[in-house]
Amino acid sequence: MAWYDSAVFYQIHPLSLCGCEQESANVEGSHFAELEEWAGHAKKMGCNAIYIGPIFKADSHGHGIADYHKIDSRLGTNEEFKNWVAKCHDMGMRVVVDAVFNHVGRSFFAFQNLKRNGKKSPYKDWFSNVNFHKDNDYGDGFSYESWGGYQRLVKLNILSPWLHDFHFDTVHFWISEFDIDGIRIDAIDEMDYDFIKDLRKTAQNMKQDFWLMGELMDGEYARWVNDKMLHSAANNELQKKFVMAHNHGDYPIIARSIREVSEQCPYAKLYTYVDNHDVSHIYEKLNKMEHRQLIALLQYTLYGVPALYCGSEFTMKRSRSDEEDGDTQTLLKLSDYKDAYVHDPVTYLHCLLGRANQQFPELFFGHYQEVMVTEKQYIFARVLRKRAILIAVNCDDSPLQLEVPIESRANQAINILDATVNWDQEPGKALDLSGCTKLPVKDHVLQLDLPANSGKMIQIT
């Protein structure tokens, strides 16, 4: 089994988390000691992998890469990052970094060479649609294709074989120098198929279980996620439907999304997230705050790779604009939440669900089986051989009583959400089920009571 088969991710956007200058790349900082504390926190949350980025030297916001071989000076040095990765590994945490292969910042060395040498530059084919008969907003004496309409982001010509080799050498450097475990590739649907195929071969020749995940906007997962290309892709469609389903009482849209992905790529585990730096926090979008716990339950138990965004594990209202402003008064400080693990119900639930994902093979290997879907109720099972975990959620303001048929061999059911977390145990062994509520089973039928706006995770044995 590869490490990513049972991965539970904690996502960190370090520039905003550490309050770094957003528009100045010529600032030196040292934040990896602080980020080490967050890595320890991620482990305590029940995660076993960290996705961190952007981290490489950039002109401004992080994705305008200036140097693929240097850590952003606002965060620290190469040596500090290398030591941080080693410490994460010592904690049992894998590390995945952000990789931007289809555009760079204007200070990238090859673009600077193009500015100096024009048509004679050996790097002119690295960039998209360079035209020496036109000019750009910076007066360089030529025009070029920008990424997203931002001329400070220069679009690369991903079909250039020489550029391919440069990117492969970059990944080789990241693995050999920093010992990272995977990359998340930005804007994957603008990339070249052959490049991704060759990238997977190159990376796996260096590190057999190296993981590739892509940011995919068009929802055509099967084209990119398969045994020759990506291991996973961000499930953007499901992320949107989590909120829609609860705000409008429409669980069928989640169930349809799960079925569609299963039909496209039945064995692919997509990266299942609720929020990140590019979208508003979950509590900014929900009509009812009680539904945060229901979405968390679905996020960790539907077929996929669960990913928790830094800060979303706390009961608070901190907007995306707070992060982008970098105001020291609104910065997320771990010291402010030292008691959240036991006193904050949202934090505790994430701690429990992260551990459940590592303790119960049904949740990372079990196949998805839909049991019942109505507008405001959703029941499904994760089944592995003779074992099953049943997940039931009710987003209605009224309680519900149901009878759910179960396997003839089963005669006992308990609610795992009543488990006690043993904080001193490794996450994969940390849940004590001895105090869990036993649910009545009669004649192979589970008698299920679902209070208003609540959910249950039921182990059936």
Same domain, 320 and 347: yes
DSSP 332: -
* Residue 45 DSSP one-character state: T
Token couple for 299: 């996020």
Q: How confident is the model at residue 427 (pLDDT cuts 50, 70, 90)?
A: confident
Q: What is the pLDDT at residue 328?
A: 46
What is residue 69's three-state secondary structure? Answer: strand
Question: What residue has token string 């010529």?
Answer: 26
C-alpha of 39 from chain center = 15
State how far the alpha carbon of 19 is from the alpha carbons of 33, 34, 113, 322, 404, in Å: 14, 11, 33, 10, 50
pLDDT digits (tens, 9 = 90+) for 240-281: 999 999 999 999 999 999 999 999 888 889 999 999 888 888
396 in Cβ contact with 376 (< 8 Å): yes
SS3 349: helix
117 vs 150, higher pLDDT: 117
Query: Could you say which DSSP state residue 234 is in?
Result: B
Q: pLDDT of 45-101, one tens digit each?
A: 999 999 999 999 998 776 789 999 999 999 999 999 999 999 999 999 999 999 999
CATH number at residue 378: 2.60.40.1180
Last residue within a domain, chosen from 346, 365, 384? 365
Domain that includes residue 220, residue range: 3-105+157-365
3-state secondary structure of 309: strand
Do both 377 and 241 map to the same domain?
A: no
CA distances from 424 to 83, 429, 432 (A): 25, 10, 12
**DSSP track, 157-206:** -TT-HHHHHHHHHHHHHHHHHH---EEEETTGGGS-HHHHHHHHHHHHHH
Same domain (yes/no): 334, 263: yes
Using pLDDT thresholds of 50, 70 and 90, give the confidence band for residue 386.
Answer: confident
When computed from its CA atoms, the radius of gyration of the chain, rounded to whole angstroms, is 23
Confidence of residue 361 (pLDDT cuts 50, 70, 90): very high
Q: Are residues 194 and 141 in the same domain?
A: no
| CA-to-CA separations, 140 to 29, 114, 223, in angstroms, rounded | 32, 9, 38
The pLDDT value given to residue 321: 52
Mean pLDDT of 433-438: 93
Domain boundary among 365, 396, 417: 365
242-260 burial code (b ≥16 CB/10 A, e <16): bbebbeeebbebbbebbee
Domain endpoint, select from 124, 156, 188 = 156
Q: How far is CA 133 from CA 113, 118, 147, in A?
A: 18, 11, 20
CA 222 to each of CA 217, 241, 445: distance values in angstroms, whole numbers, following the listed order: 13, 20, 38
Are 441 and 298 part of one and the same domain?
no
- Asked if 12 and 148 sit in the same domain, the reply is no
Q: Note whether 203 and 101 are same-domain residues.
A: yes
320 shares its domain with 405: no
Residue 317: what pLDDT? 57
Percent residues over pLDDT 70 in the chain: 96
Name the strand (E) or helix (H) holding 96. strand 94-99
**Does residue 140 share a domain with residue 69?**
no
**345 prior amide bond cis, ω within 30:** no
DSSP state of 360: -
The residue type found at 401 is Q
What CATH number did the domain enclosing 303 receive?
3.20.20.80
> Do 248 and 266 fall within a single domain?
yes
Number of domains in the chain: 3
> In what helix (H) or strand (E) does residue 36 lie, and over which residues does it extend?
helix 32-44
Residue 199 in tokens? 């990238």
What's the mean per-residue pLDDT of the chain?
A: 92
Q: Quick one: 394 and 265 in the same domain? A: no
Q: 19 in helix, strand or coil? A: coil
pTM confidence score: 0.94
Same-domain pairing of 280 and 331: yes
Which is more confident, 25 or 163?
A: 163
Q: Is the pLDDT of residue 326 over 50?
A: no
- Residues 300-324 have a mean pLDDT of 81
d(CA 137, CA 120): 22
CA separation for the pair 457, 354 (Å, rounded): 13
